[in-house]
Amino acid sequence: MSLFDAVMAGDEARVEELLAAGEDPNPLGDRGRTPLMVAAEAGHADIVRLLLDGGAEPMLTDDMGETALLMAAAHGHPAVCKLLMPHARSDERDMAQTLLRTSGGSILDVPPGPPGDRAPPSERSRKMASAGAYVAEKLGDDGPAKRLARLLRSEKGRK
């Protein structure tokens, strides 16, 4: 069983055995992800702790430029985020906190129809839009970031 398999299975004992036997804690797998990223996304806090203790690098990014912290935050795993926060840059910590605050909802909660037919965007909606713009900017698509900036500027005039 590989380290990836043990992490995906949530098998703490096997992860510990593999790391003790000298297994590399930072191999790159599918889409450039590491075992730490897989564990963080799944919310396996104990395995994340084992991997960090075993030398896993929390600041590595996958092919999309995301770290384990952002994956854990996007999937609503605050216990994992708490373990990874000390290793993150300040901008990444801010994004993780925004993602954690908004991970309880769904984009499907937005009512249909043009913007004029509904109430002004809530704080949660703004944070979701901000998170989306941040990710789009990381991917090199600054269109959403510019649209969000225009939207926020236009809302200031309505208050």
| Full residue range of the structural domain in which residue 157 is found | 105-159
DSSP structure class, residue 75: T
pLDDT, tens digit, for every residue of 44-90?
999 999 999 999 999 888 888 889 998 998 888 999 999 999 998 88
Please check whether residue 62 is in contact with residue 33, taking contact to mean a CB–CB distance below 8 angstroms: yes
Please check whether residue 18 is in contact with residue 6, taking contact to mean a CB–CB distance below 8 angstroms: yes
Compute the distance between CA of residue 57 and CA of residue 85 in angstroms, rounded to an integer.
13
Say if residue 31 is in the same domain as residue 65.
yes
Say if residue 114 is in the same domain as residue 74.
no
Say if residue 6 is in the same domain as residue 76.
yes
What is the amino acid identity at position 71?
A: M
Please check whether residue 55 is in contact with residue 87, taking contact to mean a CB–CB distance below 8 angstroms: no
Say if residue 113 is in the same domain as residue 73.
no
Q: Which residue has the higher pLDDT, 156 or 109?
A: 156
pLDDT, tens digit, for every residue of 25-48?
999 888 889 999 999 999 999 999
Global pTM reads 0.65
Say if residue 54 is in the same domain as residue 130.
no
Compute the distance between CA of residue 59 and CA of residue 40 in angstroms, rounded to an integer.
13
Helix axis angle for 90-102 and 123-138, nearest 10°, is: 130
Per the structure block, which two tokens stand in for 110? 């937005």
